[in-house]
Chain A
Amino acid sequence: MSGHSTYEPKYAAERWLDKRLPIVRFGVDFMGFPSPRNLNYWYAFGGILTLCLMAQIITGIILAMHYTPDVDLAFDSIQRIKRDVPFGWLLQPMHAVGASMFFLAVYIHMFRGMFYGSYKNPRELLWIIGCLIYLAMMATGFLGYTLPWGQMSFWGATVITGFFGAIPVVGESLQQWLLGGYSIGNPTLQRFFSLHYLLPFIICALVGLHVWAVHHVGQNNPIGIEPKSKSDTLPFHPFYTMKDAFAIAVFLLIFALFVFYLPDALGHADNYQRANPLVTPPHIVPEWYFLPFYAILRAVPDKLMGIMLMFGAIGVLFVLPWLDTAKVRSMRFRPITRWFFIIFLVMGFILGWCGANSPDDIAIPIGEHGMSFKWLSRIATLYYFAYFFPILPIMGWIEKTKPLPESITKAVLSGDA
């Protein structure tokens, strides 16, 4: 959708620059990018996520100036940042809470894409690059959580790196290679710090590809039909810069609420204890944004099978564009599938709830003994995968979709967009 350039340099200096490096032209065309006129607030999360990435990189670079990646000093250096470094009390929680806000925004962004069918032709690659960003975010989040070297940091890292030990034949040597020793120790902490610093820049590069791809194929929109005429679109600036700015302001209010009033609400109290390789906390849980996958991991009694299911739960997202066989993009016109989608969303929350609890505790007191979290997570895991296969492929063939509007303009003017 890269239309004609609308930039006309007015002054001699602008013309001089434009002839040698058309950077202003690039910026003007970039911001004037024609966007569907019916985008709602769910489309503001791209902008919000850009802000999150910038905030994490800026606060992260500053924290690295004060942090010491050494098993004997790491825990204290974080406490020193919080207590003694000027404005450390602000910057450390901004980074820690920022990670949670980043994941909150990315989950909304992904579910938005799934609801409006934004992964369908010609946006498959846009979606896949997004999945890669999500994967890199998960790795970065995990590596970052080990750095404070508290009990949850240590044991979370032990459990996650234990996944690699489950791989047949090469597992044990692979695990030792990753850890740099027989168990998690100083070499592990140092390499995790190095990689935690590296990955955000890889995310930046992927975001560049993601934005390039969206500018090439154009944004999807809530009714999922392509813009056909000039009246179907609006220039990104000032229309969507203003809309995004308002959404960002609301998002920052929630962000600030956590940073200033609930900085530890999304973390875990055990991480205020120094890492101790001799004592496992009674209840290891990952950060909230990994809970659904943790529940899938624990849903099966077999170690290798659990890991394969957990990675499969992320891997299936990559092939989603080819599993959903429907021609119609937006769930607005898919009266039955939209309910399957809503159940999928609910199951995601249920998996998160299961992940936060002990597998053998009772979740729902029904029947003689009640249903344990283990069984609840089994049901939710089954649905999670069933949504991708066979529900989506079958619904694409059998569902009778509602008639699509003729154009975005007509839909907007009749109030259906």
Chain B
Amino acid sequence: MSDTDKFDEHGSENGEPSRRDFIYIATAATAAVGAGAFAWPLVTQMSAAADTRAAGSIEIDLAKVSEGQQIKVLWRGKPVFVRYRTQEEIDAADAVDVANLRDPQSDDDRFVPNLSGVIDKRLLVMVGVCTHFGCIPVGEQGKIDPMGAFGGWYCPCHGSHYDTSGRIRQGPAPTNLPIPEYTYISDTVIKVG
């Protein structure tokens, strides 16, 4: 029996793992960990950069909005709607049977209390981005038509209708217009984000 006959094609002796097997596995494992460690920064660089995240909060003076009016303020590249609702609009939002909504939420749940702990249902603050595919709903004047069948907002892209509380009532959007994280920092100024 010659020397080479003792080894099979993988260089192992008598079916036992050889030193060469060990070197192969160790090399492959080190390379895999190295590739993974290098892939992480390559992938993560695409996330929002520190300056983008730092510019994430703004202050809005609600006193600038008068009754029946709406302003749009840019926050994180998206518009925030501040709507000073009329009494009819508030009544219309309250009259809805919450149980029948696609995304059930009462009108009161869509507000943050001010410094004295009171909810001011006249000043509705929400992110004006349709929850379907991110278009800006129209409805600044609060007209019934063509601003949507529910007197609130209408998304022209794929036909979602929102009511006077910004809740989804008809069309493809899955959820209500979102309420951003915000707090009152004085009687009339809020901080969003």
Contact = CB atoms under 8 A, between A and B. Distances in A.
Contact of B77 (A185, A280, A301, A303): A185
Contacts of A163: 133
Interface in A297-336: 298, 300-303, 306
Contacts of B158: 298, 359
B135 A176 contact: no
A134 to B, nearest CB: 23
A178 B46 contact: yes
Contacts of A343: none
| Best-surrounded residue of B52, B157, B173, B174 (most CB of chain A within 10 A) | B157
A389 to B, nearest CB: 25
B46 A191 contact: yes
Contact of A181 (B77, B137, B171): B77
A171 to B, nearest CB: 11
Given A180-B47, A279-B136, A302-B172, A360 B77 contact: no
B173 A155 contact: no
B52 A187 contact: yes
A277 B172 contact: no
B48 A159 contact: no
Contacts of B157: 155, 159, 280, 284
B37 interface: no
Interface size class of B (residues with CB under 8 A): 20 to 34
Interface string A272-297: 00000111111110000000000000
B47 A177 contact: yes
Contacts of B137: 280
A298 B172 contact: yes
Contacts of B74: 277-278
Interface in A379-416: none
B77 A184 contact: yes
Given A158-B135, A159-B133, A277-B74, A181 B52 contact: yes
Contact of B52 (A177, A180, A278): A180
Nearest to A281: B156
A155 B132 CA distance: 13
Given A176-B47, A187-B52, A278 B133 contact: no
A182 B134 CA distance: 12
B136 A280 contact: yes
| Best-surrounded residue of B48, B79, B173 (most CB of chain A within 10 A) | B48
Contact of B49 (A180, A280, A301, A302): A180
B175 to A, nearest CB: 10
A158 B137 CA distance: 14
Taking chain A's interface residues, is the majority helix, strand, or loop, or is none over half, making it mixed? loop
A396 B55 CA distance: 61
A300 B158 CA distance: 11
Taking chain B's interface residues, is the majority helix, strand, or loop, or is none over half, making it mixed? loop
Interface residues of A, number: 36
| Best-surrounded residue of A178, A280, A298, A302 (most CB of chain B within 10 A) | A280
B135 A280 contact: yes
A183 interface: yes
A278 B72 contact: yes
A159 B136 contact: no
A162 interface: yes
Nearest to B43: A177
Contacts of A283: 156
A185 to B, nearest CB: 5
Contacts of A183: 76-78, 134
Contacts of B47: 176-177, 180
Interface string A167-210: 00000000011111111110100010000000000000000000
A402 B136 CA distance: 57
Interface string B156-193: 11110000000000011110000000000000000000
Contacts of A281: 156
Contacts of A185: 52, 77
B104 interface: no
Interface string A15-27: 0000000000000
B113 interface: no
Contacts of A279: 136
Contact of A360 (B159, B173, B174): B159
Contacts of B159: 358-360
B56 interface: yes
Interface string B25-42: 000000000000000000
25 contacts: A158-B134, A158-B135, A159-B133, A159-B157, A176-B47, A180-B47, A180-B48, A180-B49, A180-B52, A181-B49, A182-B52, A182-B56, A183-B77, A185-B52, A185-B77, A187-B48, A277-B77, A277-B78, A279-B136, A284-B135, A298-B158, A302-B172, A302-B174, A303-B174, A359-B158
Interface of B: 46-49, 52, 56, 72, 74, 76-79, 132-138, 155-159, 171-174
Given A163-B133, A302-B172, 19 more contacts: A155-B157, A162-B132, A176-B48, A177-B47, A178-B46, A180-B47, A180-B49, A182-B78, A184-B77, A185-B52, A187-B48, A187-B49, A187-B52, A278-B136, A280-B135, A281-B156, A301-B172, A303-B172, A359-B159
Nearest 3 A-B pairs (CB), nearest first? A183-B77, A182-B76, A162-B133
